[in-house]
Amino acid sequence: MIRASSPPTIVFDLDGTLAETAPDIIGTLNVVLAQEGLAALPVSVARDLVGAGARALIERGFRLYDRPLSPEKLEALFQVFLEVYAGRVADESHLYDGVLGALDALANAGHRLAICTNKPERHSRLLLDALGVTGRFAAIAGRDSYPFFKPDARHLTMVIEAAGGDVRRAIMIGDSKTDIQTARNARLPVICVPFGYTDVPIESLEPDLVIQHFDELAHAIARVTPALV
């Protein structure tokens, strides 16, 4: 039985929150663009395209070349993207500074940890395996793990339950409007980082707190925990 005083479950987004993954995602996009006779995009230009999923990324990339895609063509390119990305999911991706220490501190304090991402579960696990952190999470939910995905609250609440946590005592950690909306829909607090994938300053979206470094996470969690049931 979960006591009301138990440490809350901490649920993390993945891309742009725990790990810098844009170089590999954009590298995969460039393979798809090259297949269609288009030039590669530098990370400095294309990083802002990341954050809304692979289909949106492909559409945005082709839009830069004034190349609209039919639904059928987009789906075909999406399937190519998934297979290419699986083979290079962590060639250049890495955890942000301070992540490992923060995960250790939270685990030592008794928190259950989980992942809630709109990245497909297969690629999420491949990435987490390559980064050496899969075993730190009690549950991992990708976009296709359940019938629902962010910002639907059920994506978040179902992974909390899968981790053995209480859906009334959990905190979302993310980097985007989608993460904030998901937490709000689940009536849970949300803490954000400002260095991820968002097209507007994360502060303007009014999460409960913004941290500049993962060294600040434990303190931020302590600040929002009293608001939980």
22-86 belongs to CATH 1.20.120 = no
Confidence grade of residue 73 (pLDDT, cut at 50, 70, 90): very high
Domains of the chain by residue range: 9-21+93-227, 22-86
| pLDDT tens string 5-51 | 789 999 999 999 999 999 999 999 999 999 999 999 999 888 888 87
Q: What is the pLDDT of residue 1?
A: 47
Distance between CA atoms of 60 and 51, rounded to whole angstroms?
11
Q: Which residues are catalytic?
A: 13
Q: What is the pLDDT of residue 4?
A: 58
Class of domain 9-21+93-227: alpha beta
| Higher pLDDT among residues 52 and 110, named by residue | 110
Q: What is the pLDDT of residue 2?
A: 54
| pLDDT tens string 86-141 | 999 999 999 999 999 999 999 999 999 999 999 999 999 999 999 999 999 999 99
Mean pLDDT of 183-191: 98
Q: What is the pLDDT of residue 50?
A: 87
- At residue 215, does pLDDT exceed 50? yes
Q: What is the pLDDT of residue 79?
A: 96
Mean pLDDT of 47-61: 87
